[in-house]
Structure 1
């Protein structure tokens, strides 16, 4: 992490995933400098101070602590100084972190699940939070200790619904399409019976139909809300949740009236601090309350679904530039830029993820609040956090509008501060944190994660070393949502899928498949072995890893050939493929052969 940057934080020279030196173009650098702009001269005098007990700060000040107490700070932070978010006498934020995340003490295994795909016969064509509870209870019966689910963050409440879980409208609140409507207080049998035909259509659909599911759920939920009196528990929750949820709900109401792109709204409401927003809130109280109520229901149902188990929530690298978080923090985001990744082992032509990046100095000037709220909101009620593309806390690949993924450049972030904030939120929630560190990883990143107890990611498809040599401080997996399932790799259908849906060269796809097959066959798996043997072999290898968390893909348990997502394409049915077996059928069968064989292999049986 010692590579030089200019005063805008841009790293023009860098080393790619193949250890080859690369240089961003002068035109790209000039464009990014224009977007980033000059920080104010007094930024260092008002930016937050992030520290730990025992560290020197060079500060002497009275500190107003968040619990209402007052402490004196005389340079070194005392060991007994309260952890949290405080204020110095000059108004600056003081963040005191333990510097280390909550770390499990024993190894456990669990499932990686695309919740939308885990449909049961009773759910409304999309996996929901009752299905998550079923998965959790089933996993506990099997001896597993955690679940890792796709991002559950909310998108705009409009149709069509955004399909990618990694391009949400917010990283602070959850998607009501995951509500189990039958479990909502006030829902009556008649509310469901009148929709029998629509439900039958959703349940029989070949793909996950988010639009149909959300339209029907919203209709029923709004009718229940309109005829119900406020639940005292909801009233108390709303008061405790504060302005953040009110802002989210206001954005939802505005989106339903003006469309999902806040950049196309009337100027008077285009930003959360715009002059017309207060009047809109006064005139649309019921609509706003409805969207707050949905978030309360989600909080209640998620906590019931997770119980005392660990459910790792996935934090996307960014949000939609037209969404609610961008509406709230318009001044912190970089216009005319998207984040992505340069060409690497995941995609040979690079990736553009479509999210606008946070400008590093503006994030500091905002007291890191957009980051704090995103981490806290994602951890809430679940006990675990997976940070997608954790390298983005160190540097992000910025791509100017109109340029391809190969034409970007890296921009640096205040990683030490961001990582210590993650450690503070993990400590408070008792939540394990995993950093997805796949792709182009610069020297020093993994060491910085390990120092803070953030588990790294080890994936069988990418590792030359046998699993026995992997680190303990990691989540270990065979594959990810962006990579082939075992069955898809073994049969060759995944390579054909890639060729049909991306611009990747056939030679890259074929050679990539051979590399992965070599890892799967390294201990002698026969080339003509059936798919079931290939799955068992992959998880036998995984089971030898000393890593704290061993993650099994639910797709592999049912020998699904299609991966959830092929990066770099929008033509494929990404994020819409249901699990090949209804969830209730899978979890009701204690002897499901795919599950039994995978779990036995993972346990060394």
Structure 2
């Protein structure tokens, strides 16, 4: 039995697992998911958005198109090659109006190979940050990277969580994919900051804490930031910026103020506050104008500090696969999300028990009925201001593993998404922002996905721990790296401590962990690494392999650069210190790190000549 197409609800009854073995979804799961998905309106195909490209026929007959800039055009058949890209409104001859999205069909690409660092920003602490890596530390990393000829930084998701404690520790379960987490602000660089507000004794304890403590950091930062806001709230630049960001910012800032008042999960709030458009919400916003304004101001400062931190260097920001069901985006778009379902992954090499990531999925037909706006805003908000995008679990744009509530990760089913439309929207946003896009295509990848990504100039992910081929044979249209935040560091693999960590923190069978380690060791030692090599030699051996790759982006792990044993996250665990492990070397001391210098010598010279892209960058196929 092979994989087959989806049913009328988009559910794929038959599928192939990571070992290419046929699997079938239980009938009870299918029935439950059908009830959750529901039936789309009969006229959705006639009124829903159309995504196309110049030179293609949108299939709508004669159209009067009102373009984004307010100009009007009449077209019939194929769009002219010079038709403006963007989000337009089209009216057909029968008077039906629908969104017309015109994409270049291909993402922006840089013209030469370059290297950079992968950074868990919360872990990249310095003597100047308040116990958690911040945007000032990102600036330090950017300056250090530029000094040595690097071209990018790839950071963990910086998206906001609820402004309450305890804070959600996982960067991959944010409250929103459109706005950022103010815990990353460098406090002494905001307007209105007064050193007299500094909680010196508490700060001293936090800076030297063995783990990143988001709760303690936010509890110290919030009152100081609030005092700074009150001194600078009348800045006319703030009023201008806030007006430009419009209703989306006001909704988010209102949600933050409501979360402080009623808790971080909107589903537990008083009923009259469950609808963002309700009169009770508007009244709350008016009564608590200062608190709402404070949360808007925080986002302004995050924009300012991110721009200052990147200063022209590409910062590739990470787009999580979803958001918290109780968060801001779920509150605003609750009618587009599926209730009683979360997304994850079936068992694979990464986790033989499967994974549940805790995010409610977007219902495909409801996403179309919303003109794809939740997806557009999420992509645009994540790309903004930094020049790069990494799409976590890019296969989720094709299909997602839906897990019914109370079920195990193995009890799910794949639900299909309109991937052609979503990928062309990514290409449009990439084109507008001149942002390189990387698709994290690890795990179970169905046929056709690599080709669809390559057609649009979305770089694939090549990870040494997963690849059988020598890096010299890896594709050019890729980001190449040794490991990821979910996989062992080189030192943890080499000395066996990562295997011990997995056994202590997961229910994975010992034989699975042992066999997995042996597979990775075979890749690490294939150039002849001696069995008695010290950790620094093992790291250098791994990256000597990596730099043979012709891939457009070569990513070095900061954890490996400073010989950290622990990976940032072990998937499927809750009792481990995931997302809290700081780098053992402060970022303001990296210039003196002999271990980091080893890797910098390996990448010297990368990017000195242009690459030969499969198609000239920034052109449509």
For the aligned pair, the TM-score class normalised by the smaller chain equals: over 0.9
Confirm whether residue 11 of structure 1 aligns to residue 12 of structure 2.
Answer: yes
Q: 2:404 is matched with which residue?
A: 400
Confirm whether residue 131 of structure 1 aligns to residue 132 of structure 2.
Answer: no
Q: CA deviation at 1:271?
A: 2.5
Residue number among 310, 331, 342 corresponding to 1:306 in the alignment: 310
Q: CA deviation at 1:228?
A: 3.0
Q: Is the 8 A contact 1:97 1:421 kept in 2?
A: yes
Residue number among 71, 77, 82 corresponding to 2:79 in the alignment: 77
Q: CA deviation digits over 1:300-325, x for unaligned, max 9? A: 00000000110000000000000000
Q: 1:148 is matched with which residue?
A: 154
Name whichever of 56-65 and 460-469 sits farther off.
Answer: 56-65
Confirm whether residue 452 of structure 1 aligns to residue 456 of structure 2.
Answer: yes
Confirm whether residue 366 of structure 1 aligns to residue 367 of structure 2.
Answer: no
Q: Is the 8 A contact 1:28 1:408 kept in 2?
A: yes
Q: Is the 8 A contact 2:487 2:570 kept in 1?
A: yes
Q: 1:30 is matched with which residue?
A: 31
Q: 1:435 is matched with which residue?
A: 439
Superposition map of 1:35-184 within 5 A: 35-59=36-60, 60-89=62-91, 90-184=96-190
- Equivalent-residue separation in structure 2 for 1:602 and 1:520 (angstroms): 18
Superposition map of 1:581-592 within 5 A: 581-587=585-591, 589=592, 592=593
Q: 1:388 is matched with which residue?
A: 392
Q: CA deviation at 1:229?
A: 4.1
Confirm whether residue 576 of structure 1 aligns to residue 577 of structure 2.
Answer: no
- Equivalent-residue separation in structure 2 for 1:271 and 1:330 (angstroms): 9
Q: 1:319 is matched with which residue?
A: 323
Q: 2:619 is matched with which residue?
A: none
Residue number among 375, 378, 393 corresponding to 2:382 in the alignment: 378
- Equivalent-residue separation in structure 1 for 2:600 and 2:520 (angstroms): 22
SS in 2 for 1:76: coil
Q: Is the 8 A contact 2:192 2:227 kept in 1?
A: no
Superposition map of 1:242-253 within 5 A: 242-253=246-257
- Equivalent-residue separation in structure 2 for 1:594 and 1:426 (angstroms): 35
Gaps of 5+ in 2: 607-621
Q: CA deviation at 1:603?
A: 4.6
Q: CA deviation digits over 1:375-409, x for unaligned, max 9? A: 00000001000000000000000000011111100
**TM-score (normalised: structure 1):** 0.98
- Equivalent-residue separation in structure 1 for 2:572 and 2:536 (angstroms): 29
SS in 1 for 2:335: helix
Q: CA deviation digits over 1:505-528, x for unaligned, max 9? A: 100000000000000111111111
SS in 2 for 1:411: strand
- Equivalent-residue separation in structure 2 for 1:81 and 1:485 (angstroms): 48
SS in 2 for 1:461: coil
Q: 1:476 is matched with which residue?
A: 480
Q: Is the 8 A contact 1:476 1:542 kept in 2?
A: yes
- Equivalent-residue separation in structure 1 for 2:97 and 2:140 (angstroms): 48
Name whichever of 543-552 and 283-292 sits farther off.
Answer: 283-292
Confirm whether residue 557 of structure 1 aligns to residue 558 of structure 2.
Answer: no
Q: CA deviation at 1:604?
A: 8.6
Q: Is the 8 A contact 1:543 1:603 kept in 2?
A: no
Q: 2:193 is matched with which residue?
A: 187
SS in 2 for 1:347: coil
- Equivalent-residue separation in structure 2 for 1:286 and 1:52 (angstroms): 45
Q: Is the 8 A contact 1:542 1:602 kept in 2?
A: no
Q: CA deviation at 1:142?
A: 1.3
Q: CA deviation at 1:487?
A: 0.3
Q: 1:426 is matched with which residue?
A: 430
Q: Is the 8 A contact 2:539 2:560 kept in 1?
A: yes
**TM-score (normalised: structure 2):** 0.95
Q: CA deviation at 1:593?
A: 1.3
Q: Is the 8 A contact 1:339 1:355 kept in 2?
A: yes
Residue number among 536, 544, 547 corresponding to 1:543 in the alignment: 547
Cα 1:145–1:538 shift into 2, 3 Å: same
SS in 2 for 1:584: helix
Name whichever of 76-85 and 477-486 sits farther off.
Answer: 76-85
Superposition map of 1:255-266 within 5 A: 255-266=259-270
- Equivalent-residue separation in structure 1 for 2:272 and 2:18 (angstroms): 46
Q: 2:492 is matched with which residue?
A: 488
Confirm whether residue 598 of structure 1 aligns to residue 604 of structure 2.
Answer: no
Q: Is the 8 A contact 1:391 1:441 kept in 2?
A: yes
- Equivalent-residue separation in structure 2 for 1:508 and 1:601 (angstroms): 33
Confirm whether residue 345 of structure 1 aligns to residue 346 of structure 2.
Answer: no
Name whichever of 361-370 and 15-24 sits farther off.
Answer: 15-24
Q: Is the 8 A contact 1:558 1:594 kept in 2?
A: yes
